[in-house]
Amino acid sequence: MKAAFLYGAGDLRVQQVADPVPGPGEATIEIHASGVCPSDIRGYTGAKSYASPWTPGHEIAGTVTQLGPQVEGTWRVGDRVVVDWRGVCGTCRQCRRGAANFCESVVKHPIAGFAEFTKMPVGQLRLIPDPVSFEAASFCEPLACVLNAHRSVPMPLAADVLVIGAGPIGLLHTQVAARRGARVIVTDRIASRLEVARSVGAHDVVLAGDDGGAGEVRALTDGYGPDAVVVTVGHPAAIRSALAMAAKNATVNLFAGTHPKGTVELDPDIPHYEQVSINGSHDFSPHDFSTALRLLQFGMVQTDPLVSHRFGLDGIAEAFETTRSQAGLKSLITA
């Protein structure tokens, strides 16, 4: 089969390798859609180092082509599946306290999603319902991360919610917040992204200038600021903007990690006198992953408007460059 290998910063090659053979309890999957994630780009640019060469890609959907021995359940060749790459134990302290995203015995199964085939334990697979396309199913992993964040962000009906950043993740947050009954405001520095934000449910959009759009956001909220802010841009300036705009008693969720790493000075009077809560979120639980698939199944989250580019596996270097340069929105590798 063909598979992409990252040898170092900017050095992404497609090579011929042996087809994966499923072991006990595993299935081989032909990959039909695989999303390019910002974490893939950090490896590609050298912002994060990995043992090289390696095959990136973890947002995948495809078809079961082979079953290994000792596969239990009703799995069949031909099943349409989406892959959850995080295997949690369910018995450690974190899992038992409802924080499986911090499982102490987690197995991060190497999906190697930018390839023609991969293999995975069947316990990490979800059947894709008939209405859901392979492309839509490939959004399950990032959407699951979004759902994990929303558990810690209060959103009463008609609350003013600000999403900072209208990239693919910000647009998923926009849709989930709107489904929760919020009035959603989205800011970004790229006007074309704001057009998509409005099309997927944003009630107001703001082209962020040097102040991050603070003046306009406050005007849209009668001078009070938003009741909740989700920061999907990994930059200290975006975090500072969120804290400056948040209303009294608001919640600020730091969804994105900061890359490159940086620090933010915090005025302790903001959480104290303004009673602003600051939290974060990391990865997802198995239930988040399953819930994400249900949102896609029943059309509660739309993914087609988020896909701006599609490439074959041989065009993966162009896909990475497209995502790195923020041209368009989501890039998918499709077959």
- Domain-wise residue ranges, the chain: 2-144+284-334, 152-280
What is the C-alpha separation between 100 and 102, in angstroms, rounded?
5
Q: What is the pTM of this model?
A: 0.96
List per-block mean pLDDT (blocks of 10 residues) for the chain, which spans 335 residues: 95 96 97 96 86 92 98 96 96 97 94 95 96 98 98 97 98 98 98 98 95 95 98 94 97 93 92 97 96 98 98 97 95 97
Q: What per-residue confidence (pLDDT) applies to 260?
A: 81
Report the CATH number of the 2-144+284-334 domain. Answer: 3.90.180.10
Q: What per-residue confidence (pLDDT) applies to 110?
A: 84
Query: Tokens representing 305?
Result: 């408007």
What is the C-alpha separation between 324 and 320, in angstroms, rounded?
6
- DSSP state, 301? S
Q: Are both 2-144+284-334 and 152-280 of the same fold?
A: no
Give the three-state DSSP class for 304: helix
Q: What per-residue confidence (pLDDT) applies to 207?
A: 97
* C-alpha angle 243-139-19 in degrees, rounded to nearest 5: 135
Q: What fold is seen in the domain 152-280?
A: Rossmann fold (3.40.50)
Query: Tokens representing 1?
Result: 């089969």
- DSSP state, 314? G
